[in-house]
Chains A and B, each alone.
Chain A
Amino acid sequence: MRLRLVGFAVVAAAALWALAAVSWAMETHSMYRWDLPAGFPTPRVPPDNPMSDAKVRLGRRLFYDKGLSVNGQASCASCHRQELAFTDGRATAVGATGESHSRSAMSLVNVAYNSVLTWSDPNLRSLEKQALVPMLSEHPVELGLKGREEAVLAALRADSIYAGLFREAFPEPAFTLANVAKALAAFERTIVSARSPWDRFHYGGDANAISEAAKRGEVVFFSAEIGGCFRCHGGFNFSDATDYAGNTRAPVEFHNTGLYNLAGAFSYPAPNLGIYDHTKRAADVGKFKTPTLRNVELTAPYMHDGSIATLEEVVDHYAAGGRTIADGPLAGRGHENPHLDRRMTGLHLTAQHRQDLLAFLRSLTDTEVAGDPRFSNPW
């Protein structure tokens, strides 16, 4: 009988806690209002991490907090600098301890709309899970928190500002690594870039928002007969790996754009083999996600490994239908890569087309997002 009562009490307590949590979540969720411009759908938000202003505030602080690194030298913002559209300007990212990552830091602009995350992990679809990767990864060390989780949480708990922020953002127990990730994810979802000159032209009806060259470049970009860029960089987010609330999830395509064609077992240099790393299918070597082109002017160098320095060279790469590296260990004709994407046929771009296409790409630069105080360092 006594056991039954104890059991009942435990179940009742759990139920009450769950009810309170759900009620809290519903309350905070219902309070959040997306400030989305015309044409931008509501991002998909996981049911277990509803958006709230409190969570976004907390996430922003955490994002810029160097205390979330092994040596107090780095934060998320170290590799995702606002002025560079939340990239780092490096070919490949560098962790808190100086270890180099093998790939380029991806922009966090409009990350809320990414159907998959990182360059080449077809299974990573949750920002909450992704946020834990740089914190805990060891190969390479990014923020280097593996094995220091409790110490970090204790430090957060001891901080009076965090104490308030966590209390507002989460029900008890608030101070968990999962909640840190949730708050970071919530903040990152708010980084929406939609105020570029092209947006003002396309959605805002402002005929003078972009130059005539950019207007011509838009035709080049969206014409199958000329540039055909939209075939992969399509939609409002200029990427074919886009998702949002209410969207029917389609399989995400990854593309081999002929950056390399090495002799030997793998046509791409290790360790960046594309989604092959996950699928182990030979045909998947060199296949990477299509990143958004929003703010592309700010995100050099380009490609998954930062191996193309300028936007001009990127256009030339696509015009050539792949990159030819004449000599050295990476020598090869990318256009002849056996798994080259079928769209990489090369382009007949006139000098005017090239110049106009570049003008169009630069019209996607949202200077406001790069300086928006809502996304800036609160420290």
Chain B
Amino acid sequence: MNRKLILGLAFAVFCFLEWSPAERAATVAPAAARPTLAPAGPFHVSGNQIIDSEGRPFVIRGTQIAAFHLDTVARDNRAGLDYGPHSATTLSAIRLRFNLNAVRIPVDLRESTRPGYFAALARVVRRANEMDLLAILDGRGEPSATPEAVDFWKRCAAYFKGYPNVMFGALSDSAGPESAKDVVHAIRGAGASQVVIVTEAAAGAAPDDSNLVYEARLRPAAHGAAPLAARTVPVLANGLDPELDNAPECANFPADPAAAGALVEDYLNYFDAHAISWTVSSFEPGKLIRDFSLHDATSLENGWTCGKPDPGTPAGIGRIIQAHMRGSVERELFVVSGAGGLDIARGAFALAYGPVMADHDAEAGGSHPPLKLGGISVQVTDALGVTRPAGVFWASEGWGQTNFVIPDQSAVGPARMTVRREDGSTTSTNISIADTAPGFVTGHSCRGPAMGSATQTFADGRTVTTKISSCKGFDCRTIAIPVAAGATTRVRIFASGYRHARSAAEIDMRIGGVRVPVVSFGPTENPGQDQVTVEIPAQLYGVGETDMICHLNGRISNATRIRIGAAKPVS
């Protein structure tokens, strides 16, 4: 494996995270986590559950993203070193890194009459749905009872009635039961049958509709969740955010990071135990994340001053949410696939971040990584209880990262990964092994330009091969893939988690939303790395830089960028 690639991988998850002779003591050994259920609407309500189109209970685990505004579409969708809040990369981070399955998109009722409003909004909704995220459209800007609001919901429902993975957050703002009825009738009158989320206030005089979810606003300091479990209707808990920038609200929140973290964790455990849906905080700098560049999660562990946010080290509950959703502990090891996701394919490389504590930073090249590097070794104990050593190709001193390969013979299912150090101490964490878990190798932190090469084959048999991206440090750029009428262009993409796919046909590769044929896939000479070769169809010629994602066996890859050049005449 070349040095750049190793370094790229080595730093690939600095974005995530922070986070035993006898094993080092973890605070609380968490239960193994599974990826949250991807939305498979249309949904309906049964008793106090939301049921998906396959009859499975669907529990919402989501967050709010930046409000949709027509004037800021380009900025919000931006790619590059600082990804927009509505970009596929950001949505990918929400899905894979945080293991959430829903986003709330605030929409401004007053803007909706402008031409092209719903079409532009629909692109964001489709992008979220493509990333396996339920989209909840939250009406804002007008009291819900006004004729303008009712009109908005009629038009909105008419536009999105064919979107099975959309719910209407019709009454996110305070409104009484009567206005709830009006809005729900407006939505149904437009032919939309999706779930509508109404406020708790409406629960007392529920509109005559069976497809409602009731939102319960939470104030974390108030310990107000307990009654929710007794509900006979589905509840969506919202508002779990300490509001550290709001001095009066923050003052009610425990000042000690451990107590504050425990309080949030109590809520999350309670919701899990009672299968209560939730959306928490928002996916923006200073809330769940530090920035849009790396999507590093915020932490309460750095401390905070109520009402005085520290832009350099913003405090938030990001890491608590992330660790909880990954079945990990904030300060312990945190293991992700090459896509940044929870499931890791057997035979694929994985990245663990946390108390690696190697003797020194160390990397190993070659196709057969050593079983010991920098004074550490890694073991994987699979679902059958079989423990195997893993090849290690990167190990960091201190709180850092180790990159290793999941032994190919590992059984699929929940497993345990252990770092063993020369001093005899060990640290373990839960991981989840799958047959396949698609991911693309990038130059930096599982995002940005995909890595690989493009080969153009001309009618006379001549071939030309070029790179598809280049990096200077972490600054990676796409390189236009040359295409030409009369020539075929195939792109060999560095990837992970594909080698155990049953056939090329089940690999759903999409570039700019267009499915592209997979010509071949399988391991490369680099440890844990695969390749996927696709052919660029003519309809993508000239599309420029766009997103590339993949679905395989119900799992989604990280979103990466690829640039398709314009067709030129064959010279």
| Given A212-B257, A213-B258; A205-B25 close (CB under 8 Å) | yes
Q: Does A264 contact B (CB under 8 A)?
A: no
Task: State which residues 248-283 of A face B: CB under 8 Å.
Answer: none
Interchain CA distance A223-B399 in the complex, whole Å:
5
B16-24, B98-106, B125-133, B562-570 - interface stretch: B16-24
Which chain A residues border B257 with CB–CB below 8 Å?
Answer: 212, 216, 352
Which residue, A213, A219, A348, has most C-beta atoms of chain B within 10 A? A219
Which chain A residues border B27 with CB–CB below 8 Å?
Answer: 207, 212, 215
Number of A interface residues, CB 8 Å? 36
Q: Determine whether the beta carbon of B331 is less than 8 Å from that of A215.
A: yes
Q: Determine whether the beta carbon of B313 is less than 8 Å from that of A224.
A: no
Q: Does A3 contact B (CB under 8 A)?
A: no
Which chain A residues border B313 with CB–CB below 8 Å?
Answer: 348, 350
Which chain A residues border B303 with CB–CB below 8 Å?
Answer: 350-353, 355
Task: State which residues 302-342 of B face A: CB under 8 Å.
Answer: 302-305, 310, 312-313, 331
Which chain B residues border A355 with CB–CB below 8 Å?
Answer: 303
Task: State which residues 25-44 of A face B: CB under 8 Å.
Answer: 38-41
Interchain CA distance A124-B308 in the complex, whole Å:
52
Q: Does A162 contact B (CB under 8 A)?
A: no
| B4 CB → nearest A CB, Å | 20
Q: Determine whether the beta carbon of B310 is less than 8 Å from that of A39.
A: no
| Given A203-B425, A216-B257; A224-B400 close (CB under 8 Å) | yes
Q: Does A234 contact B (CB under 8 A)?
A: yes
* Chain B contact patch, size range: 20 to 34
A202, A213, A225, A348: the one contacting B24 at CB < 8 Å is: A202
Which chain A residues border B357 with CB–CB below 8 Å?
Answer: 222
Q: Determine whether the beta carbon of B399 is less than 8 Å from that of A222.
A: yes
Q: Determine whether the beta carbon of A223 is less than 8 Å from that of B398.
A: yes
Q: Is the interface of B mostly helix, strand, loop or mixed?
A: loop
Q: Determine whether the beta carbon of A39 is less than 8 Å from that of B21.
A: yes
Q: Determine whether the beta carbon of B398 is less than 8 Å from that of A216.
A: no
Q: Determine whether the beta carbon of B397 is less than 8 Å from that of A205.
A: no
Q: Determine whether the beta carbon of A223 is less than 8 Å from that of B18.
A: yes
Which chain B residues border A352 with CB–CB below 8 Å?
Answer: 257, 301-304
Task: State which residues 24-56 of B face A: CB under 8 Å.
Answer: 24-27
Interchain CA distance A355-B304 in the complex, whole Å:
13
Q: Determine whether the beta carbon of B302 is less than 8 Å from that of A205.
A: no
Which chain A residues border B21 with CB–CB below 8 Å?
Answer: 38-39, 203-205
Q: Determine whether the beta carbon of A219 is less than 8 Å from that of B397.
A: no
Q: Does B423 contact A (CB under 8 A)?
A: yes
- Interface membership of chain A positions 218-241, coded 1 if the CB is closer than 8 angstroms to chain B and 0 otherwise: 110011110010110011100000
Which chain B residues border A41 with CB–CB below 8 Å?
Answer: 423
Interchain CA distance A355-B312 in the complex, whole Å:
18
Interchain CA distance A218-B310 in the complex, whole Å:
22
Q: Which 5 A-B pairs have the closest CB atoms?
A: A352-B303, A205-B22, A38-B21, A207-B25, A212-B258
Taking A39-B424, A202-B20, A223-B399 as given, write out 15 further A-B residue pairs in contact, using a Cβ cutoff of 8 Å, ordered by the A residue number. Answer: A38-B423, A203-B22, A203-B424, A205-B22, A205-B24, A216-B257, A216-B258, A216-B331, A219-B18, A230-B397, A350-B303, A350-B310, A352-B301, A352-B302, A356-B301
